[in-house]
Structure 1
Amino acid sequence: MSASFIQVIFFLLAGIALIILLTARLKVHAFFALSIACFVVGMGVQLPVEGIITSMKEGFGHIMKSLGFIIVLGTTLGVLLEHTGSTRVMAEFILKKTGERHAPLAMNITGFVVGLPIFCDSGYIVLSGLNQTLARRTKIAVPVMATSLAAGLYAVHCLIPPHPGAAAAAGIIGVDFGKLILAGIAVAIPASAVGYWWARYAGKKISPLHVAQEKGDDTHKKLPSTLQSFLPVIVPIVLIALGSFGTVEANDSRIWQIFKIAGDPVIALFAGVLLALTAIRSWKKNAISKLLQEGVEKAGGILVIIGAGGAFGAVLAATKIGDHLGDSLPLASMGIFFPFLLTALLKTAQGSSTVAIITAASIIQPLMPALGLHTPAGHLLCVLAMGAGSMMISHANDAYFWVISKFSGLEMKTMLKVYSLATLFMGLTALATVYILSLIML
């Protein structure tokens, strides 16, 4: 291949623009958008069709090897927690600790905890009834309550595995899951807190809005205990963290070997699924089978997008785009800011945090040495910076935006004023936190 720098950049931008056009405007599934972009970029820089297909297969297979089990198990865990009512139990426990006077803070913390295994849109739908009840009972404006809950869920969704964007970026860039979870939590906490703070500030002049009556789907069924509800969330995190420490210790003793095995994300999430199953009151064969099938089916849609992202990344690698950009741009001076800006641009333009971070990771992976992020610490900071960028800015082209609007009864103007601005401040706060970590780690 003898494509020039200008040619490579032109078709890279064309590929990105095509992804945005197909997904945001024409509503084409991201799998097909990414796949089409592979051919546009590859053929544009004169790669042979056979080479493009081979790269796509290799990229797809590599990402499935890294993330397939993790995404399926993480999705299934979320489905089980929703079905058993564990999310409601966790929310009510946190509310008791904070008090109704601090209901927005309680929902923000609840969103953060519940969001660890559950996707943000699903978590919001599950908790929206409780959120509405609290808004009605406390007379706190609905936008304040809605944004507080949404911010907690969103911060975790953008930064921490097993959520698909962060998990895919970790697989593409090459980051240990345990370290990413711990560092991601450290970055997500201030981001979530800023979202809550903005909700309280922006909502001061908003009068309490009418809230629909809670449906109460699970008010009459027997709910699991507090311990049963929290264990499926806490145990996998603890196991993965211990597994990371076992890797760092590089100790051959039996105890550290056990930690390393139990801390494998697949084993840890499988343990979470088993713990979640213990909270099911009625062990009917068809019911359990239906829940597990739902988890697998939800994971399937995510996996094909992630796999297509891996394929796109492999094609980009074959174009030697890293060498071109490294020779032509002052990437060394940009560091973590380049991954952040690229992801933020993609997110704001096409709406999906997952597609934005997967696409950005595919572009950035060959640029790591030029950015000065070639060390393990640099890899970790890069993924965190992309996670921060994937928060910027949630608006009308984001499905999560409409989930919040629909289930809270909020108008577009209010959503943009309170929630969208909250995501802007959350992303900038997350970036500032990552920058502080870079001063310590690099």
Structure 2
Amino acid sequence: MISSFLYVFLWLLAGIAVIVLLTTRFKVHPFFALIIAGFVVGIGVGMPVSEVLTHVKNGFGNILKSLGLVIVLGITLGVILEHTGSTRVMAGFIRKLVNEKRAALAMNLTGFSVGTLIFCDSGFIVLDGLNNSLARKTKVPIATMAVSLAAGLYAIHCMIPPHPGAAAAAEIIGVDFGQLIMAGIIVAIPTSLVGFWWATYAGKKNPVVLADEEEQESDLPGHSVIRAFLPIIVPILLIAIRSFIALDAPDQNWVISVLVTIGDPVIALAIGVLLAFNTKRGWQKNTVSHLMQDAVQKSGGILVIIGAGAAFGAVLVAINIGEYVNQAIPLEGLGILFPFLLAFILKTAQGSSTVAVITSASIVQPLLPNLGITTEMGYLLCVLSMGAGSIMISHANDSYFWVISKFSGVGMKEMLRVYSVATILMWLTSFIMVYLLSLILL
């Protein structure tokens, strides 16, 4: 039997500590850490093991039922775009558009564009060769170029679906994907540019440039810029149109019905996958099979983390955690500040933005009424605030930190000075943007 609100609150803290310790100190996969934490909290407060198991299974299954196809299709689309070279076509177009005098800005915008559907670490690896080539030609410090690209990819990765953190949080809190994409882009644009600004400023302090070496220019695929961008633009537009229709709620007719159907994230992303396949001719069966297997394998790891996060959240809902936390910490008036700070703490402690957002959403969802977040726009801002919080601080416990360092050749000391500080400034900028949106939307 639960003895007091403080007792329950302490078990919640113990559950969070279990997640952080298992994932950082003992290198346990987040899936197992989240499931174990759910059992620790549930059993700790006096819930029978069989009841905890029921809530874990229901939480795990319910979110995958609604989100599983979105994640798989989103990752499949990203894998195909990488394979066909569409990402490099987009990068080449943006580079010409901005011109080489603004090479760092070009890579920042490229990262932002490519990052809408491709994970930040994969995007950086794919674009690293082009980034290094441009750094050599323009003599821009490699730290500036690498962090500018990384910031563009990272800002959008933390803020919008179908990236797993934002997608899972939207499902847990109950936010429309289209609205989140539109608002997330508004927040992510200045956030990305602040990262570029700091990379440009800080990179001058240690202007290490890459040595010249012979390069071949004939690596870019032959398909057009339009065909490269369509698989990204079309799904986003379809989802956004569906959201506008839902907001206006016009009389139903066959046109509206069609738009609502194809604007469903699953259908929209499936259309994006078909458009991505169309960027290349003469597909081999073995190639297609390999790409599909790669996408499914990548999806599996993400899906189990999302499911485990929802399972943890289901246990918290079952023990009515909101009431106990509200007694231990007065939540009234904190609003979106609480989820923002919670995501920041979890991100800094264990390194993964995805795990930070999913865990935060699972904890925050039962607390929404106590935080005074009770409207559709409030839910939207709550998810955005968690995405913003998960930006800081990217340091040595973040795998993306090491991807940037390894592929760009920027040392750890320089990474901490340029990239990690950039994530602090991006963190502040993103929350300011979310706060400004709250003044308009609430």
Question: For 2:12 and 2:324, how far apart are their aligned partners in 1?
Answer: 12
Report if aligned partners of 1:129, 1:215 keep a CA contact under 8 Å in 2: no
Q: Secondary structure at the match of 2:261?
A: helix
Q: Distance in 2 between matches of 1:212 and 1:291?
A: 34
SS for the counterpart of 2:332 is helix
Instruction: Measure, in 1, the Cα distance between the counterparts of 2:220 and 2:370.
Output: 57
Shift of 1:200: 0.9
SS of the residue corresponding to residue 210 of structure 1 reads coil
Matched, 1:65 2:65: yes
1:210 is aligned to 210
1:249 paired residue number: 248
In structure 2, the residue corresponding to 1:333 is in which secondary structure? coil
TM-score (norm 1): 0.97
Moved more, 405-414 or 256-265: 256-265
1:131 alignment partner AA: N
Match of 1:152 in 2: 152
1:308 aligns with 2:308: yes
Q: CA deviation at 1:283?
A: 1.3
Structure 2 residue aligned with 1:385: 385
Q: How does 1:187-206 map to 2 (within 5 A)?
A: 187-206=187-206
Aligned-partner Cα distance in 2 for 1:190–1:285: 43
Per the normalisation by structure 2, the TM-score is: 0.97
Once the two structures are TM-superposed, the CA of residue 25 in structure 1 deviates from its matched residue by: 1.6
5+ residue gaps, structure 1, are none
Deviations 1:62-104 (A, max 9, x none): 1101210000000000000000000000000000000000000
| Structure 2: tracts of 5 or more residues without a match | none
Q: Distance in 1 between matches of 2:353 and 2:237?
A: 26
Instruction: Say whether the 8 Å CA contact 1:67–1:171 is kept in structure 2.
Output: yes
**Equivalent-residue separation in structure 1 for 2:309 and 2:333 (angstroms):** 27
Change over 3 Å in CA distance of 1:369–1:70 after alignment to 2: same
Q: What does the per-residue CA deviation read over 1:396-431, in whole Å, with 9 as the maximum and x for residues that have no partner?
A: 000000000000001111000000000111011000
Does the 8 Å CA contact 1:104/1:149 hold for their aligned counterparts? yes
| 1:281 alignment partner, SS class | coil
Pick closer, same or farther for the CA change 1:368–1:138 going to 2, 3 Å: same
User: How far off is 1:281 after superposition?
Assistant: 2.7
C-alpha distance in structure 2 between counterparts of 1:369 and 1:380, whole Å: 14
Q: Secondary structure at the match of 1:162?
A: coil
Change (3 A) 1:203 1:175: same
1:228-307 alignment to 2 at 5 Å? 228-251=227-250, 252-307=252-307
Bigger mean CA deviation after superposition, 13-22 or 107-116: 13-22
Is 2:88–2:127's contact at 8 Å kept on the other side of the alignment?
yes
- Shift in alpha-carbon separation, 1:215–1:35, aligned structure 2, 3 A: farther
* Residues 190/146 of structure 1: CA separation in 2 closer, same or farther (3 Å cut): same
Counterparts of 1:104-183 in structure 2 under 5 Å? Answer: 104-183=104-183
Verify the 8 A CA contact 2:135 2:210 in the aligned structure 1.
no
Separation in 1 of the partners of 2:326 and 2:5? 11
How far did 1:214 drift? 8.8
Query: What is the Cα deviation at residue 106 of structure 1?
Result: 0.4
Q: What amino acid maps onto 1:416 in structure 2?
A: L
Q: Which moved more, 1:114-123 or 1:204-213?
A: 204-213
In 2, the alpha carbon distance for the partners of 1:48 and 1:247 equals 42
Equivalent residues of 1:108, 1:150 under 8 A apart: yes
Corresponding residue number in structure 1 for 2:24: 24
Q: What amino acid sits opposite 1:307 in the alignment?
A: G
Query: What is the aligned partner in structure 2 of residue 223 from structure 1?
Result: 222
Alignment check: 8 A CA contact 2:148 2:196 kept: yes
SS of 1:338 mapped into structure 2: helix
* Counterpart residue number, 2:428: 428
- Asked if the contact 2:9/2:328 (under 8 Å) is kept, the reply is no
Q: Give distance in 2, aligned partners of 1:339 and 1:279.
A: 41
Change (3 A) 1:365 1:212: farther
Q: Structure 1 residues 412, 243: CA separation in 2 closer, same or farther (over 3 Å shift)?
A: same
Aligned to 1:441: 441
* Equivalent-residue separation in structure 2 for 1:187 and 1:388 (angstroms): 9
Give distance in 1, aligned partners of 2:331 and 2:39.
27
1:84–1:223 CA contact under 8 A, matched in 2: no
Stretch moving more, 278-287 or 31-40:
278-287
| Aligned-residue offset at 1:282 | 2.8
2-side partners of 1:420 and 1:47: how far apart?
42
One-letter amino acid matched to 1:422: A
Q: Report the CA distance shift for 1:253/1:410 in structure 2 as closer, same or farther (over 3 A).
A: same
Q: Is the Cα contact below 8 Å between 1:351 and 1:394 reproduced in 2?
A: yes
Distance, in Å, in 2 between the alignment partners of 1:182 and 1:138 is: 34
Return the letter of the residue paired with 1:410: V
Partner residue, 1:335: 335
Q: Given that residues 133 and 213 in structure 1 are in contact (C-alpha distance below 8 angstroms), is that contact kept between their aligned partners in structure 2?
A: no
Give CA deviations for 1:186-211 in whole Å, capped at 9, x if unaligned. 00001001101111111122223336
Kept in 1: contact 2:234–2:272 (CA 8 A): yes
CA 1:21–1:339: 2 relative to 1, 3 Å: same
CA contact 1:90–1:226 (8 Å) conserved in 2: yes
Query: What do the CA deviations read for 1:85-144 (whole angstroms, capped 9, x no partner)?
Result: 000000000000000000000000000000001000000000000000011110000010
Q: 1:204 to 1:286 in 2, by over 3 A?
A: same
* CA distance in 2: counterparts of 1:266 and 1:29, whole angstroms: 28
Q: CA deviation at 1:253?
A: 2.3
Go from structure 1 to structure 2 and tell me whether the alpha carbon gap of 1:211 and 1:303 turns closer, same or farther (over 3 Å shift). Answer: farther
